[in-house]
Structure 1
Amino acid sequence: MKKNKKTRFGLVMIFFMMTIFLSGCQAQAPISTVPTKTIVDCMDREVVIPEDPQRVACLYASTAHMVAMLGEADKIIGIPNGVKRDVLMSYKLPDIASLSVPFQDGTINIEELLTSKTDLVLIRQSTAENEGEIEKLDKAGIPWVVVDYSSLAGLKKAITVTGDIFDQKEKAAGYNAYVQEILDLVTERLSQIPETSRIRIYHAVNEAARTDLNGDLCTQITDVAGVINVSTQGGSLITDAEKTMTTLEQIYAWNPDAIIANDINATKYMLSDSKWSGLGAVVNQRVTTLPVGVTRWCHPGSMEPQMAALFIAKLFYPEQFMDIDLVQTTKEYYKKWFDLDLSDEDVSAVLSGAGMRLSK
């Protein structure tokens, strides 16, 4: 009897030890890893990312636009709230309203990224420079890539980087070539217009008193478009990391021939508020709302600078562009690069700057 008890005890101990041993082996077994690749981002960082990312959070609006252009919109699982207001993006992402918003007011919601099983995050440089926000991503083990720009050259690099991420190098290079082709066309056609005959414009960026900083993307666009951007001529400008503001007094001092605005509400305000009524551009009704397509065409975050340059140039120097049908050009552009079949009504809305970006 004692022998049987000892035998049973011995068997139990052997089973117990085997269980511990097998559990230990299981805990130490190698974890399967996703294939990776190394790319260089817009801050010239070498970054190891999934070879074929499937669940991408675009924490900077322009990255979502670029991903859509490359035909990878179905991989977007997170966007800023502002992208949900872009009508053409809703055509590319029918479920856009239900996508998560893991980034608001400069803060990353890491729980949202983990819940949505994000395997790659695209951010702008200002986020990358915030140690607290980057620490969240690093601790969670979520790779991140900086895709950002503030100039034409920077935009081309950002598109190239995004092409590298999704193995869409050929399409990215094609888009960059198309952008340069249109910019070159506009430059060539305006090359004979003397400086003294060029239109002086004021550019209102979203808000009536927000404008451009010399050397930024918007002033490069207006330079190509052959106009003189008065904000580059000196005067009262207050600039922070995000905006350049001026004053109504300064705009009166500049006394531009015309005004172009990114937002139709800014246009309506300038045309209706009595404080603006003494400006020559307002008196002469030369206040134009710029087109809104996938992005606002002449905007610091635009990925469509060639379309803005063509529109502005044709607006102020129509004789040089009599052969260009903007409606047809716009239709062809969105079909080729975004696979969107826009109706005449869609294109009319895009070119008017009205109705293609929903109200907050």
Structure 2
Amino acid sequence: MMTKTRYVLCALIIAAGILCCGCTTTTPASTAETRTITDMAGNQITLPASGATFGIFGGPISQVPYLLGANESVTAVTKGPQMMEMMQQMDPGIASKPAPRTTNGNVNIEQLLVTNPDCVIAFDVDGEIVESQTGIPVIYLSGTMSDGFKEMRQEIIFMGEVFQRPERAQAYIDYLDETLAFLENRTADIPEDERVTVFLGEGVSHLQTLGGDTFFTEWTEAAGCRNAVAAIETTQGQQEGMHTGINEVSMEQVLAVDPGLIIIDTGGPADLAKDNRWKELTAVKEGRVYKQPTGLFLWSRPSAESAVLYPVWIAYMAYPDRFADVPLTDRVKDFYTEIFDFPITDAQAQKVIDGAYGSVTFGQVQQSG
């Protein structure tokens, strides 16, 4: 028969055991929770189940966390987007964030380590630098200047998984698809031989362009137009000092295609009208030379922003009569409000359309970095 003293001692031991079991099953389990991401290169990366922080290395991809409503988790950014005027208006705090990545292959490792992100999201060159010099995991993206709408959808869906915002990613996909359907409906009946040919001429010479093997061809086709240099490949044989995918063609090649619409990023339309090399072109004679729009980032890059707005803008410039019932400023305002939760004014929308927002060059980024 158990004595009263032994009974009390046993009860205390049992109670202590119960309390101890409670400590070991809750606290360690809650701190050890993780999730695994398979990146676009097939690698598996382990992240905290929630609250992960990220470094974002790349110009166009930098806008995606905003699109997903998850930018608070980004601790390290890329210099180019940080310098964009409209980006600073949308997020005044971006100017104070560390920007260890300037241009492709230029990463300040010391500055990155100070930000201490759980991982870095990057493309191959930047990602390999981070992996080789730090212990920070890298989520690799897969993308080139040849990527079109299909690849854009894949990238946004993937980023929605990384940032745990799949519903915001799908909202963007739906908006993109609705926009493309809108443009198709307005331009489908234009005969192939009557579709406006569009030439993108960047740089001081206006001869740096995106050829038929780049996203720009798909963007122009979505607008019911044709890339004037679709027969030329510009992603091959990269020319020194130029961004991948952009190469310089000759004036003779431009004269041969005689584009109906020209987009420039340097100078103004009047400059071409005064130039003996350009003034005989159809686009110049008809006053259809336009400054390239600029928003959160350069539109001459495949981004979530340019995938929606660049085809719309091109279509409006090429076929104004077909879109007279829907002001372009309204479409631009709707996009930034619906996708980025960034309401803008008519004046801001017009600045985007006119290419009047401040832009940056690679030289500026490198100097500032």
TM-score range, shorter chain: 0.7 to 0.9
Q: 2:181 aligns with which of 166, 180, 184?
A: 184
Partner of 2:73: 75
Give 1:338's match in structure 2, choosing from 337, 340, 349.
340
Find the partner of 1:162 among 154, 159, 162.
159
The change in CA–CA distance for 1:235 and 1:117 in structure 2 (over 3 A counts) is closer
Aligned CA distance change for structure 1 residues 302 and 174 (closer, same or farther; 3 Å): closer
Change (3 A) 1:236 1:81: closer
Structure 1 pair 340/234, CA: closer, same or farther in 2 (3 Å)? closer
Provide the secondary structure at the position in 2 that maps to 1:90: helix
- What residue number does 1:152 align with? 149
Shift of 1:74: 2.3
* Cα distance, 1:126 vs structure 2: 4.0
Q: Specify the alignment match of 2:257 in structure 1.
A: 254
Percentage of identical aligned residues: 25
State the Cα distance separating 1:294 from its structure 2 match. 2.0
CA gap 1:52/1:123 in 2 versus in 1, 3 angstroms: same
8 Å contact 1:298–1:305 — kept in the other structure?
no
- Tell me whether 1:244 sits opposite 2:238 in the alignment: no
Deviation for aligned residue 1:133: 4.7
Q: How many residues align?
A: 324
Alignment partner, residue 306 of structure 1: 308
Q: Which amino acid aligns with 2:89?
A: Y
Partner of 1:284: 286
CA shift digits 1:77-120 (9 cap, x unpaired):
22222112222221232122222121234132221111112222
Deviations 1:201-226 (A, max 9, x none): 21224662221232422110001111
CA distance 1:172–1:206, shift in 2 (3 Å)? farther
Alpha-carbon distance between aligned partners in 1 of 2:44 and 2:235, rounded to the nearest angstrom: 37
Q: How does 1:264-275 map to 2 (within 5 A)?
A: 264-265=266-267, 270-275=272-277
Residue in structure 2 matched with residue 317 of structure 1 by the alignment = 319
Distance 1:132 1:256, change over 3 A: same
Name the structure 2 match of 1:227. Answer: 225
1:353 to 334, 352, 355: 355
**Is contact 1:216-1:300 (8 Å) kept?**
no
Q: Residues 182-211 of structure 1, C-alpha deviation per residue, up to 9 Å, x if partnerless?
A: 112212221111112111121224662221
The alignment partner of 1:276 has SS state of: coil
Contact 1:236 1:247 in 2 (8 A): no
Equivalent residues of 2:262, 2:288 under 8 A apart: yes
Alpha-carbon RMSD: 2.6
The runs of 5 or more residues in structure 1 that have no matched partner are 1-29
Counterpart code for 2:72: D
Instruction: Label 1:199 to 1:155 Cα distance change in 2 as closer, same or farther (>3 A).
Output: same
- Could you tell me which runs of 5 or more consecutive residues in structure 2 were left unpaired when the two chains were aligned: 1-27, 239-243, 365-369
Structure 2 letter corresponding to 1:116: T
- AA in 2 matched with 1:166: F
TM-score (normalizing by structure 2): 0.79
